[in-house]
Structure 1
Amino acid sequence: MRRTIAQAISSGVLLLLAGTACTGGNTITRQPLPSRPASNAPDRTSAPAPSRAKAAAVGDTIKIEGTGSGEQLDVTVKQWLDPAGSANEFSGPQDGKRWVAAQFELLNTGSASYEDSPSNGAQAADTTGQRFPSTFGEITAGPQMPAATKIPPGEKALGWILFEIPKASEIATVQFTMNSGFANQTGQWSVK
């Protein structure tokens, strides 16, 4: 049976879309990097207790990878601000809402330059599971993370990412994903 060029192209597009939608491997990393090296000598004086990984919190660093070769960041939530105050009288949250903000430090530990809009890959989640994307505004705590951030290997960027949430929401976690949120690995920090 002969296929037309349009059918062949259509089949190829469907295969391409199916391949990209089924990549799997999406992970959320909640465990921070160790703050100091573990002891080499095991403790044999007591029975091992079941271990539970410590969830990352404000001040902790998580290593995450991007989609490109050599894309890797050590991401730290340096501070959490709830509420975040507007730096001027011309902007602020909408009625019934408030601003919250996370100060992120992005250290490029990869071999490739990191070029992205970090706020596109950040979101906050409240205790009911509602998720909130970042927003723009100037706050009194300091400068926002630049919209167009370029970090060469070995260098870092520091800035606030702002979220607008309902006044009644209690934020539980903040997340960051490279490549404007499209990378397979996401870092998550508890802010409660």
Structure 2
Amino acid sequence: MKKFLLVMPAVLSLALTACTGTEVTSSPDKKPAGSGSHSTSAKSHAAPAGIGDTITLKSNEDDLKLEVTVVKAISSAKPKDEFNVPEQGQRFAAVQIRLKNVGSTTYDDSPGNGAKLIDGQDQQYDEAMSDIAQGPSIGSSVKLAPGGSRKGYLVFAVPKKAKIAKFQFALDSGFGPQAGEWLLK
């Protein structure tokens, strides 16, 4: 019992430390010199990430890093079938992402757990785990060996009048040390 009382505060302290301190970044990775962009002004480097941009995120695991790219955003996505429909007063919105494991250990997580869609009123929405007609979802469980990649949609149920503004993504089911943020305008 004494060991339990001595160890428990340390365990709680570590748990609380792991749950705090997430850094949110909207700075896209720098594009290689020959990527088609000729501008080298400071303003172009300070621009927030948007559709087509990649942000490399770190995990709580030392050797796990993922390049996360927002490929496409759909403000009003069509349900895949009559069984996958949003509740009355809502619509589906979707964000297509590409994940590439650039670390040296396997990524094994549910991407939807670390994904948030934010509207123009700064309200956020969790993944709805639905399928849309525009393409396949990324799936509820993704395993990527180093160098592996996966692409698919994350679907969100949002009020019909909501204007989609931002997408946030973090590793470790949302508890990673970094979260990427993309403008969807």
Q: 1:62-101, aligned counterparts within 5 Å?
A: 62-101=55-94
In the TM superposition, residue 34 of structure 1 has moved relative to its aligned partner by 1.4
Residue number in structure 2 paired with 1:186: 179
Residue number in structure 2 paired with 1:143: 136
| 2:57 is equivalent to residue 61 of structure 1 | no
RMSD: 2.1
What amino acid does structure 1 have at the position aligned with 2:30?
P
Q: 1:12-91, aligned counterparts within 5 Å?
A: 12-23=7-18, 24-37=20-33, 53-91=46-84
| 2:120 is equivalent to residue 127 of structure 1 | yes
Count, aligned residues: 179
Looking at structure 2, the residues matched to 119 and 103 of structure 1 have their Cα atoms a distance apart, in angstroms, of 12
Looking at structure 1, the residues matched to 30 and 137 of structure 2 have their Cα atoms a distance apart, in angstroms, of 28
What amino acid does structure 2 have at the position aligned with 1:33?
D
In the TM superposition, residue 50 of structure 1 has moved relative to its aligned partner by 7.7
Residue number in structure 2 paired with 1:113: 106
Looking at structure 2, the residues matched to 16 and 120 of structure 1 have their Cα atoms a distance apart, in angstroms, of 24
In the TM superposition, residue 49 of structure 1 has moved relative to its aligned partner by 7.2
5+ residue gaps in structure 1?
none
Looking at structure 2, the residues matched to 59 and 49 of structure 1 have their Cα atoms a distance apart, in angstroms, of 20
What amino acid does structure 2 have at the position aligned with 1:18?
S
Change in Cα spacing, 1:11 to 1:129, as seen in structure 2 (3 Å) is farther
Looking at structure 2, the residues matched to 139 and 27 of structure 1 have their Cα atoms a distance apart, in angstroms, of 31
Calculate percent identity across the aligned residue pairs: 32
For residues 6-27 of structure 1, the C-alpha deviation after alignment (integer angstroms, 9 at most, x for no partner) is: 5x52453233212321354310
For residues 107-166 of structure 1, the C-alpha deviation after alignment (integer angstroms, 9 at most, x for no partner) is: 110000111111111011112221111011110110000211111111100010001111
What amino acid does structure 2 have at the position aligned with 1:25?
G
Residue number in structure 2 paired with 1:171: 164
